[in-house]
């Protein structure tokens, strides 16, 4: 074994007990000391299973069939006790909540050290060091419910760091986080790499961040390693990646398509960041023509279907979640609401469906004051799809799930049948009508959650974080569905952190901060001035940033639009 190789996987096959399919198929992999290995792949590729195998949790704590071997610092994981393997490795999982197994930050960080039987002084020294590294000093006495998702995830990293592992594995650590949380985690990873020379293995859907930091990226699909290369080389294979279900960084895709379809070799190596792309663009003889923009104000002439007048909302514990919100939603709009966690996005949309009633001010839905209407009455007009579909699927079959609300409404059986069949057909779920919802994949469950709302034929559909924890293909599929509903005249309100999807699908954007709407306008205008707003965590998509840098008056929303914008100067 190479002396610098700290992690080695040899011909690894794995299938879970009771499963017919191998989840990992002949995986071979070597990680060198101090290396940052990124792992990408669509949902179901086997990424989490690979992480569990790298730590020895597979096969020690999970039942199944294994072939091949995994070595951590030369120790065969299947032949050494798990606690020995774990001395060298730390792992951080996706869900920040489930990883917090004690009631306070300091207890959480010292917990693995207590398990190691360390003396008290050593524990304190290591714990405070780890908290300092992740920027959580001063939070020692905080309870989990007093922390944001990003802060909880940083505590999870600190609790692993305190063990002083030589290798840190992070399995989609930013999936559940808002833009602030994502940025916090990548800053911590950068510190670990630069100041502590730690070996990092990071599974991540956010390829743009990964491209910035990783030395090498491994592409996994259906349990097989399809490629393991440096980020530039891997992300340059744009078409191949997209076919696999992984979207490359936007600027990389832009230059790739510029090369391919314009038949020009515009750069020797494809850029990965807007800065590199700007440098490459400045060497080209191109002009940028601002796109023709449709008049976004045409809807404003109609009567609003939802209206907020100076709305304030105070939670029972005294937290002021909305402060003087004025808003008008018009028929046929596609609105994206963006902002950090705790900025009031979900509180705002819960007022639209009447789950929350304003403490001050007035909310009207189709002319009716929400304080005078019941939630079920409003639900007929405004449908609400939760972030986690598991919170809203409670029937025993997919069919019953869609029929549930209709039965509550007392509709005749024939109409229920017609509506349910139509909506299941529409969302590609007809073949699963008799299947229990929890047997569906996460993407299918998300579609079913939309179907249950659609069956009620609401005029407005609100979708809360439909892209969280989903891969890019799943996210895009749900956004395409919303777009087609919008094309049919439905009003769509979506909360999302994915700025790329906001740019490509929304027509109007609301930016929220500290309970207020601090920007409201067409997606193009809001993205153009996003970096000037006091919401440091929100950054426009790569392609928008690139073109704003070239010409501050040109706000580009997608790679396609960017390609149409560029003109060659003779």
Partner 1 sequence: MASAPVFGIRQIAVTAITAGLCLPLALFAIILVPIPGLPAASGFWIPAGFYFVMTLWFGVWGALGGHIATTIAMGYFFGYTLHIWMDGGLGDFIAPIVALVIFKLLRANPELKEKRDYAVWIVSVMIASLVCGLWVHTVHLLFGIITWPFWWVGVLTYFIGDTLAILIVGTPLLKTLTEYVKQSPMYIWK
Partner 2 sequence: MRRTFFLYVEENSPLYRLHPLLKILLLLFFNLEAWIIESPTVLWLSIVGVLVLFKLAKIPLARLLKFLLFAAIITQAIMFSYILGSKIPGNVVYYEFPWGTYVTDRTLLYAFSMVGRFMLMLVGSTLVLAVTRDIDIIYGIISLKIPYALAFTVSLAFRFATIFIDDYFKVRDAMILRGTALDKGGILERARKYVNLSIPLMVLAVRRMLELTYVLEAKGLNLKGKRSYFYEFKLGSLGIALALTLITIPILTLFLKMSYGLFTFPGWPFNG
Interface with partner 2 (CB under 8 A): 52, 55, 57, 60-62, 82-83, 86, 90-91, 93, 95, 97-104, 106-107, 110-120, 123-124, 127, 141, 143-145, 159-160, 163, 353, 355, 375-376, 379, 383-384, 386, 388, 390-396, 404-405, 408-409, 438, 452, 456
Residue 59 as a binder of partner 1 (CB under 8 A): the answer is yes
Q: Is the peptide bond before 59 cis (omega within 30 degrees of 0)?
A: yes
Please give the Cα distance from 414 to 1 (Å, whole number).
69
Binding partner of residue 439 among partner 1, partner 2, none, CB cut-off 5 to 8 Å per kind: partner 1
Give the full edge-to-edge strand order of the sheet including 382-385. 382-385, 460-464, 491-495, 334-338, 508-513, 516-522
Q: Which residue of 60, 125, 328, 529 would you call a contact of partner 1, by CB under 8 A?
A: 60
Q: Which residue of 3, 18, 121, 263 would you call a contact of partner 1, by CB under 8 A?
A: 18
- Identify which of residues 438 and 568 has a Cβ nearer to partner 2 in the complex: 438
Residue 316 as a binder of partner 1 (CB under 8 A): the answer is no
Token match 């930016």: residue?
511
CB-based burial, 10-26: b 16+ in 10 Å, e otherwise: eebebbeeeeeebbbbe
Residue 514 as a binder of partner 1 (CB under 8 A): the answer is no
* 24-32, 37-45, 436-444, 460-468 -> range binding partner 1 (CB under 8 A): 436-444
Number of residues that bind partner 1 (CB under 8 A): 12
Please give the Cα distance from 270 to 277 (Å, whole number).
8
Binding partner of residue 227 among partner 1, partner 2, none, CB cut-off 5 to 8 Å per kind: none
- Identify which of residues 143 and 568 has a Cβ nearer to partner 1 in the complex: 143
Closest distance to partner 1 from the beta carbon of 471 (Å)? 22
Please give the Cα distance from 192 to 169 (Å, whole number).
12
Q: Which residue of 436, 442, 473, 531 would you call a contact of partner 1, by CB under 8 A?
A: 436
- Identify which of residues 115 and 408 has a Cβ nearer to partner 1 in the complex: 115
Long-range residue pairs from 406-415, CB within 8 A, at least 24 positions apart, any chain: 406/455, 406/456, 408/376, 409/380, 409/456
Closest distance to partner 2 from the beta carbon of 393 (Å)? 6
Closest distance to partner 2 from the beta carbon of 356 (Å)? 10
* 114-122, 349-357, 434-442, 485-493 -> range binding partner 1 (CB under 8 A): 434-442
Token match 């426009």: residue?
540
Nearest to 206 by CA among 191, 186, 222: 186
Nearest to 86 by CA among 166, 189, 201: 166
Please give the Cα distance from 166 to 276 (Å, whole number).
32
- Identify which of residues 95 and 417 has a Cβ nearer to partner 2 in the complex: 95
Whole-Å CA distances, 360 to 61, 144, 235, 279, 352: 53, 30, 51, 51, 15
Residue 439 as a binder of partner 1 (CB under 8 A): the answer is yes
Closest distance to partner 1 from the beta carbon of 177 (Å)? 23
- Identify which of residues 273 and 397 has a Cβ nearer to partner 1 in the complex: 397
Residues between 81 and 140 that touch partner 1 (CB under 8 A): 81
Closest distance to partner 2 from the beta carbon of 456 (Å)? 8
Nearest to 52 by CA among 75, 78, 32, 33: 78
Closest distance to partner 1 from the beta carbon of 48 (Å)? 15
Provide DSSP, 408-422: HHT--HHHHHHHHHH
Strands 5-16 and 24-32: antiparallel
Residue 438 as a binder of partner 1 (CB under 8 A): the answer is yes
- Identify which of residues 63 and 391 has a Cβ nearer to partner 1 in the complex: 63
Closest distance to partner 2 from the beta carbon of 344 (Å)? 17
Q: How many residues does the chain have?
A: 570
Please give the Cα distance from 236 to 245 (Å, whole number).
15
Please give the Cα distance from 375 to 365 (Å, whole number).
11
Which positions touch partner 1 (CB under 8 A)? 17-18, 59-63, 81, 396, 436, 438-439
């Amino acid at each position: 074994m190479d002396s610098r190789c700290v992690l080695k996987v040899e011909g690894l096959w794995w299938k879970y007990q009771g499963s017919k399919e191998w989840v990992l198929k002949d995986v071979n992999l070597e990680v060198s000391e101090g290396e940052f290995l990124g792992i990408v792949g669509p949902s179901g590729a086997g990424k989490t299973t690979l992480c569990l195998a790298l730590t020895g949790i597979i096969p020690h704590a999970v039942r199944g069939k294994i072939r091949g071997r995994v070595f951590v610092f030369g120790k065969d994981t299947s032949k050494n006790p798990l606690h020995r393997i774990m001395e060298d490795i730390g792992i951080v999982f996706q869900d920040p909540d489930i990883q917090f197994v004690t009631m306070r930050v300091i207890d959480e960080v010292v917990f693995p050290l207590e398990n190691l039987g360390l003396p008290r002084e050593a524990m304190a020294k290591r714990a405070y060091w780890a908290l300092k590294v992740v920027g959580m000093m001063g939070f020692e006495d905080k309870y989990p419910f007093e922390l944001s998702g990003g802060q909880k995830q940083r505590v999870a990293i600190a609790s692993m760091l305190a063990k002083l592992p030589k290798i840190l594995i992070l399995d989609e650590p930013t999936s559940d986080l808002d833009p602030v949380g994502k940025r916090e985690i990548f800053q911590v990873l950068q510190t670990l790499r630069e100041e502590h020379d730690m070996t990092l293995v990071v599974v991540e859907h956010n390829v743009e961040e990964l491209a910035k930091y990783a030395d090498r990226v491994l592409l996994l699909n259906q349990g097989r390693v399809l490629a393991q290369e440096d980020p530039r080389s891997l992300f340059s294979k744009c078409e191949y990646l997209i076919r696999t279900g992984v979207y490359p960084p936007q600027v990389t895709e832009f230059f790739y398509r510029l090369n391919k379809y314009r038949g020009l070799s515009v750069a020797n190596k494809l850029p990965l960041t807007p800065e590199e792309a700007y440098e490459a663009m400045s060497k080209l003889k191109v002009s940028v023509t601002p796109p023709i923009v449709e008049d976004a104000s045409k809807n404003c002439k109609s009567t609003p279907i939802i209206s907020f007048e100076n709305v304030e909302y105070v939670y029972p514990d005294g937290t002021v979640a909305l402060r003087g919100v004025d808003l008008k939603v018009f028929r046929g709009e596609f609105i994206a609401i963006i902002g950090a966690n705790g900025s009031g996005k979900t509180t705002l949309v819960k007022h639209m469906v009447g789950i929350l009633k304003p403490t001050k001010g007035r909310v009207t839905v189709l002319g009716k004051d929400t304080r005078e209407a019941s939630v079920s009455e409003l639900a007929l007009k405004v449908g609400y799809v939760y972030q986690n579909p598991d919170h809203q699927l409670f029937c025993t079959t997919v069919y019953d799930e869609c029929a549930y609300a209709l039965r509550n409404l007392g509709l005749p059986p024939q109409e229920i049948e017609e509506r349910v069949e139509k909506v299941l057909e529409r969302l590609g779920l007809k073949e699963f009508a008799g299947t229990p919802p929890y047997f569906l994949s996460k993407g299918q469950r998300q579609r079913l959650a939309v179907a249950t709302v659609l069956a009620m034929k609401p005029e407005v559909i609100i979708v809360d974080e439909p892209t969280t924890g989903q891969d890019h293909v799943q996210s895009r599929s749900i956004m395409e569905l919303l777009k087609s509903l919008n094309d049919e005249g439905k009003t769509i309100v979506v909360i999302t952190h994915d700025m790329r999807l906001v740019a490509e699908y929304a027509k109007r954007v609301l930016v929220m901060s500290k309970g207020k709407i601090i920007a409201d306008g067409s997606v193009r205008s809001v993205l153009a001035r996003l970096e000037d707003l006091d919401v440091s965590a929100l950054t426009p998509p790569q392609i928008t940033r690139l073109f704003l840098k070239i010409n501050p008056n040109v706000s580009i929303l997608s790679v396609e639009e960017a390609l149409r914008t560029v003109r060659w100067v003779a």
